[in-house]
């Protein structure tokens, strides 16, 4: 069995700024404030973030609109397949509405990831892009 979460926040930046930062190793590391990220910014490109706590592969890239990744952390059970993360970018009056649709999460872990997306992505992204 697996779980799903969906959450959104408005980030004070353009979709292009967020898209480019998400797929850039240095920018991703800085805007999360959470250790090194290494990102190959193309379809089938591999990535790691948070000093290898997160890893995966880019499945679909729609410039300035959507990023779809096979995504996992070191806390996934070894036999559990990668989860799927969709990062949807929609222009809004105060920047960009960023929506995370995270599916195929191992049972019992979705509450932790929901909190993690808020604490370790949305909150620092708002701070980073408001500069």
In the block, which residue shows the tokens 């592969």? 57
Q: What is the average pLDDT across 92-107?
A: 97
Q: What is the pLDDT of residue 90?
A: 98
Higher local confidence (pLDDT), 34 or 90: 90
Q: What is the pLDDT of residue 40?
A: 98
Estimate to the nearest angstrom the gap between the alpha carbon of 61 and the chain centroid.
13
Exposed e or buried b per residue across 43-52, where buried means at least 16 C-beta atoms within 10 angstroms of its C-beta: eeeebbbbee
How is domain 2-129 classified at the architecture level of CATH? 2-Layer Sandwich (3.30)
pLDDT band of 116, cuts 50, 70, 90: very high
Q: What is the pLDDT of residues 63-88, one digit of tens each?
A: 999 999 999 999 999 999 999 999 99
Q: Which of 4, 5, 13, 2 is nearest to 124 (CA)?
A: 13
Q: What is the pLDDT of residues 13-33, one digit of tens each?
A: 999 999 999 999 999 999 998
Sign of CA dihedral 15, 49, 4, 124: negative
Whether 1 has a pLDDT exceeding 80, the answer reads no
Phi-psi map region of 33: left, alpha, beta (phi>0 left; psi -120 to 50 alpha): left
């Amino acid at each position: 069995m697996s779980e799903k979460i969906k959450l959104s926040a408005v980030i004070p930046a353009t979709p292009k700024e967020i898209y480019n930062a998400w797929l850039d190793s240095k920018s991703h590391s800085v805007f999360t404030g959470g250790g090194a990220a290494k990102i190959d910014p193309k379809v089938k490109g591999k990535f790691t973030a948070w000093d290898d706590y997160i890893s995966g592969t880019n499945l679909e890239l729609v410039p300035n609109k959507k990023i779809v990744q096979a995504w996992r952390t070191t806390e996934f059970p070894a036999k559990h397949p990668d989860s799927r993360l969709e990062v949807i970018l929609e222009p809004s009056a105060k920047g960009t509405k960023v929506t995370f649709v995270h599916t195929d999460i191992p049972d019992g872990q979705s509450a932790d990831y929901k909190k993690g997306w808020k604490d370790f992505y949305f909150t620092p992204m708002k701070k980073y892009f408001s500069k």
